[in-house]
Amino acid sequence: MISLEFILQSVDRWLRDRLGHEVAVAVEYVLVGLFVILFFAVLGLVLVFMERKVSAWMQVRLGPNRVGPGGTLQTLADTIKLVSKEGLTPAGADRFLFNLAPVLMIVVSMLLLAPIAFARNVQLWDINIGVLYVSAISSVSVLAVLIAGWSSNNKYSLLGAMRSGAQIVSYELSAGLSVLTIVVLSGSLQVSQIIEAQQTGWWLFRGHVPVLVAMIIYLIAVTAETNRAPFDLAEAESELTAGFHTEYSGMRFALFFLAEYANVFVASAIGAILFLGGWMPLHLGNWDAFNRIMDWIPSSIWFFAKTFFFIFVIMWFRWTFPRLRIDQLLELEWKYLLPLGIVNLLVATTIAVAGWYF
């Protein structure tokens, strides 16, 4: 069967046979770096097109349909336009920090890809604290937002950055509690082991109500962490022009734009790994015939199908709910989601210790 794992193993064998072990490893590192850059570029094009089509479908209209077959090249045309624009720096801005912020944002997004398992045995770095690594690195993105807002020398940018900082720091708590629910059930922080723990069934089905509650809290929290509507107060056009990236244009704005969609992908991929087994096919207990049929589908297809399901739900939020006020946003987190997450984690811990899950 042709799969992502088979392709990568074939390339690895071909390189080692012709270049030797040391040179082959060096070449593979370079290829991985190029893959990440190319993956981000393609991912941005795909997700922007998907966003437009999803919003059009929900608003009963066509969406992009002129440039390319079915409008598929519209996003590419917009990208060329954006990249070709002149990047301006405000007169009173801190030039070094102003240029650093978008680079830091995209670098953080790229680092988050490391522990994600795209398919069986296809993972950049299977670190034993993979989930903790993602939580720690994703926290750095708030620094890029704060740097962008402060260095722009713009009151709207600074206010948007302050809002985003309060929002991300607050909702990280609920997202972390949701992740811990699965860590407790799996008994590991390692991404590969969390996936293997779901070999007889995804945690969404085996972990009873606490896992369902954790998944709902996780979806709400990561939507807020990625500054997506209805939690897009950091970029509220009607109040702050464009929030923390008001003064950005050209390629620097493109990096912010790309990082937002990359973060949505990463958050959805982590959600798919934690709650739906990542690349693990749908297995039902000892139903060997059914499980063999599910194993026939390539693991990469399972992973991307689950990830894009989460992405679709996050996009669904944007075109369904009105934007919250800042006081409503913080009240939702501190009065409701955080207490609920703590109680839910205690219930999940009880289930895990008692062995009551399926």
Residue 35 has pLDDT above 80, yes or no: yes
The answer on 97 and 77 residing in a single domain is no
Tell me, yes or no, whether 44 and 115 share the same domain.
no
Does residue 256 sit in the same domain as residue 187? yes
Residue 53 tokens read as 């089509």
Domain count of the fold of the chain: 2
Q: CA-to-CA distance for 23 and 51, rounded, in angstroms?
A: 42
Same domain as 238, residue 114? yes
For residue 212, the enclosing domain spans: 93-354
Check whether residue 333 and residue 186 sit in a common domain: yes
Rg, Å, the chain Cα set: 21
- b (16+ CB within 10 A) / e for 124-134: eeebeebbbbb
Same domain, 128 and 12: no
User: CA dihedral defined by 183, 188, 190, 194, rounded to 10 degrees?
Assistant: -60
Cα–Cα nearest to 34, from 16, 11, 50, 13: 11
| Geometric angle at alpha carbon 257, from 251 and 259, rounded to 5° | 105
DSSP secondary structure letter of residue 61: S
- Nearest 5°: the CA angle 89, 91, 95 is 55
- CA 266 to each of CA 97, 186, 203, 223: distance values in angstroms, whole numbers, following the listed order: 26, 20, 19, 12
Domain boundary among 31, 63, 84: 84
Query: Which residues lie closer than 8 Å to 350 by C-beta, 6 or more apart?
Result: 356
Phi, psi for residue 117 in degrees, rounded to 5:
-95, 110
Amino acid, res. 266: V
Assess whether 14 and 76 both reside in one domain.
Answer: yes
pLDDT at position 1 over 60: no
- Tens-place pLDDT, residues 222-235: 999 888 888 887 76
Indicate if 80 and 99 belong to the same structural domain: no
pLDDT band at 163 (very low <50, low <70, confident <90, very high): confident
Cα-Cα end-to-end distance for the chain: 31
67 and 108 inside one domain? no
Q: What is the pLDDT of residue 221?
A: 94
Which one-letter DSSP state was computed for residue 67?
S
Whether residue 345 has pLDDT greater than 90:
yes
Count how many Cα atoms sit within 13 Å of the Cα of residue 92 in the half-sphere of its side chain: 6
Describe the crossing of helices 250-276 and 155-186 by its angle, rounded to 10 degrees.
Answer: 20
Residue that finishes a domain, picked among 52, 84, 116: 84
Same domain flag for 24 and 102: no
- Answer yes or no: pTM beyond 0.85: yes
303-344 confidence digits (pLDDT tens): 999 999 999 999 999 888 888 888 888 899 999 999 999 999
Same domain membership, residue 131 and residue 10: no
User: Which of these three, 84, 111, 132, is where a domain ends?
Assistant: 84
